[in-house]
Structure 1
Amino acid sequence: MHQDAIVLPAPEESDKQGAVCEDCVKTGGRWVHLRYCRTCGHVGCCDSSPSKHARAHAGTEDHPIITSMEPGEHWSWCYEDEAAVRPA
């Protein structure tokens, strides 16, 4: 598991309100759900979104761990291991 890639704490509920996919905003795209990179804080769109920016970011930056930015959701995922991440 790649838990050593976790540098930042999970986002607070207040941080989730009004969040956007940074890359979709730049390109005029749209998103379904948002994911937060636990290494650098980048916010990207999920795999159900057309551009899958969170997964692309994880691959190009070698930042495998994301956390859901959806209000009320508190789970994390490792793209590299394709597995849920348990809190350390």
Structure 2
Amino acid sequence: MNCTHLTEAGRPEPQTAYEDGCPQCVAAGFTGWVHLRTCLTCGLVACCDSSPRRHMSAHYEQTEHPVMRSYEPGEKWRWCFADELLG
């Protein structure tokens, strides 16, 4: 299956620095995120599905921004929520 979301995804600058952690977790007083992800539509930084609060998945559900990428140092993979494909 081809995924146009993955091929057409932009590269916006992340809205927060990696060292700042998941902004939504930090704002709520939590520090237990596992990994960070960046929305390739708007640049939102949020925690992954292995984290207790799963803020990046919640962002997709609220906005339908289809593609996120890993914000982990050295990782460049992307995930399309809409088509459930890794790219």
TM-score, normalization: structure 1? 0.79
- The number of residues matched between the two structures is 82
List aligned pairs for 1:30-49, cutoff 5 A.
30-49=32-51
- CA RMSD, 1 decimal: 2.2
Give the alignment partner of residue 61 of structure 2, picking from 52, 59, 66.
Answer: 59
Q: Deviations over 1:20-55 (max 9, x none)?
A: 111111112220000000000000000000000011
Identify unmatched segments of 5+ residues in structure 1. none
Q: Extract structure 1 runs of 4+ deviating beyond 6 A.
A: none
Kept in 1: contact 2:67–2:81 (CA 8 A): yes
Q: Give 1:63 shift.
A: 0.6
Q: Distance in 1 between matches of 2:17 and 2:74?
A: 9
List aligned pairs for 1:20-39, cutoff 5 A.
20-29=21-30, 30-39=32-41
Q: Deviations over 1:44-88 (max 9, x none)?
A: 000000000011101101111001011111100011211112xxx
- Quote the residue 2:10 is aligned against: 7
Identify unmatched segments of 5+ residues in structure 2. none
Kept in 2: contact 1:5–1:63 (CA 8 A): no
Percent sequence identity over aligned pairs? 46
Distance change in 2, residues 1:50/1:5 (3 Å):
farther
Q: Give 1:8 shift.
A: 2.3
TM-score, normalization: structure 2? 0.80
